Amino acid sequence: MKGFYTALVASAITGTFAAPSPIEQGPITARAAAAACATPVTLSGNPFASRSIYANKEYSKEVVSAASAISDSSLASKALKVAEVGTFLWIDTISRISVVEDNLKDVGCDQIAALVIYDLPGRDCAAKASNGELAVGDIDTYKTKYIDPIVAIFKKYPNTAIALIIEPDSLPNLVTNIDLQTCKDSAQGYKDGVEYALKSLNLPNIAMYIDAGHGGWLGWNDNLKPGAKGLADVYKAAGSPKQVRGVATNVAGWNSYDLSPGEFSTATDAQWNKAQNEKLYVSLFSPELKSAGMPSQAIIDTGRNAVTGLRKEWGDWCNVNGAGFGVRPTGTTGNTLVDAFVWAKPGGESDGTSDSSATRYDSFCGKEDAFKPAPEAGTWNQAYFEMLVKNAKPAL
Which residue ranges make up the annotated binding site for substrate?
90, 92, 214, 217, 317, 345, 349
Q: Could you confirm whether 369 is annotated as catalytic? A: no
How would you classify residue 93: left for phi > 0, otherwise alpha for psi between -120 and 50, otherwise beta? beta
- The answer, yes or no, to whether the previous bond of 121 is cis (omega within 30 of 0) is no
d(CA 87, CA 116): 10
From 138, 211, 301, 351, the catalytic residue: 351
**Binding-site positions:** 90, 92, 214, 217, 317, 345, 349
Q: Any idea what DSSP says for residue 310?
A: -
Residue 332, Cβ density class (10 Å: 0-12 exposed, 13-18 middle, ≥19 buried): exposed
From 124, 211, 301, 362, the catalytic residue: 124
Angle at 92 between CA 86 and CA 93, to 5 degrees: 135
Strands (DSSP E) found in 49-119: 52-53, 89-91, 111-117
d(CA 301, CA 160): 23
Residue in 112, 99, 84 with CA at minimum distance from that of residue 27: 84
Q: Could you confirm whether 119 is annotated as catalytic? A: no
From 138, 169, 211, 316, the catalytic residue: 169
Q: Could you confirm whether 140 is annotated as catalytic? A: no
d(CA 129, CA 304): 19
Yes or no: say if 251 and 211 are a contact pair by the CB < 8 Å rule: yes
d(CA 329, CA 344): 9
Yes or no: say if 70 and 119 are a contact pair by the CB < 8 Å rule: no
Tell me the catalytic residues: 124, 169, 351
